[in-house]
A and B are shown apart, each in its own frame.
Chain A
Amino acid sequence: MTEDRLIHEVSEIFGRVLDEDDITAESDFFALGGDSLLATRIISAVARRYGVELTFEEFLLAPTPAMVAKRIESLGP
């Protein structure tokens, strides 16, 4: 999968969980009103889709679609 494609997919996960339409690669989860409950739902969606289990700490350090995509690429199976 290309990096752009992966970022696009992760952006869709962000959009679905946050109920926001205009998610870009750099959209910050917390700036968009994300909280711990919604973070778990992004993390579980990423785990289901890519088999990559992020911790809270990892997600806190990587709260944008681009950064999550990078984690998936580096940790992915």
Chain B
Amino acid sequence: MSHSSSIQYAQLAGVTLAYRRLGSGEEVVFIHGMAASHGFWHLNVLLPLARRFRVTLYDQRGHGSSSLPPSGYTTAELAEDLRQLLDALEVPRAHLVGHSLGGAVALHLAAQHPNRVASVVVADTRVRALQPVQRPSDWPHWGSVKARLAELGLELSDDVNDWGMHLFEQLASSLVAREKLRGTSLFIPFSRLAGGRRSAERWLELLNTTSARRDLVDVAGLTADKLARVACPVLAIYGERSTTLPSQAALSALLPDCRRVTVPGAGHFFPISCPDLFVREVCAFVESHAQTAAAARVVVPVVEAAAVAGPSLASKRRAES
């Protein structure tokens, strides 16, 4: 019997990636964002998508249950990890759905290896080459978030660039130092479902013991010229209130085949806060670019066998580096 939902490990060059697969049909790979893990993708996103597609979830290097190599955290290297994972899974070509950093990884793979990528969903990704500066003071909604952070005893400079990374670092430090934090919508990467305190500890370990702090802010070759070569269909779906919104307009202007969707009233974490719209858009987009005719709107037997269990994330030890 197979173990289609159990966590498995792919031994790649210099890294061990944890992954899980469920459903059947078109190959769709989900790529989480900075500081998160595959637990970021909640049940009300996964269930409807796994009813239609073969879904692969994985933890990027240094995140979740994957190993924590000392280097290799640029989007170029993270995209190479994904290419190797596709090789290991014998998936020649897949649709990629990336949130935040995950969207940049997807675009990087599509630019480097266009034959491996059927389509890309870019969900609220700041594309560094197109939006080089991201400061709180440039964001019209900063005031309300600043006030909520102040209630938690946190403070972030109005002028700091790459403030998402700094914010997650502060939030993780607070979570590790205290029993419980209020204001949960700020803490989605570290929510209970996404690994809670363990995710926060992992993020701090990643920033403090590896090259990630430097690598994650590197354009790493994903320039406007290279992005313009992404020929596959792209869905650029962004939250109306997100700090990454300027990237959506720039991507739309640059890419030859880009559908633009803005989620009304939503912030950066709309795949969690507005899952219904996200699911509807992703399903329609993937089905409209299905690689096989049978994939379109067909409910397939999704479970390979009776034995679908394996040790849960909670019971698993982290993969060895």
Specify whether A and B are partners: no
Which A residues contact B (CB, under 8 angstroms)?
none
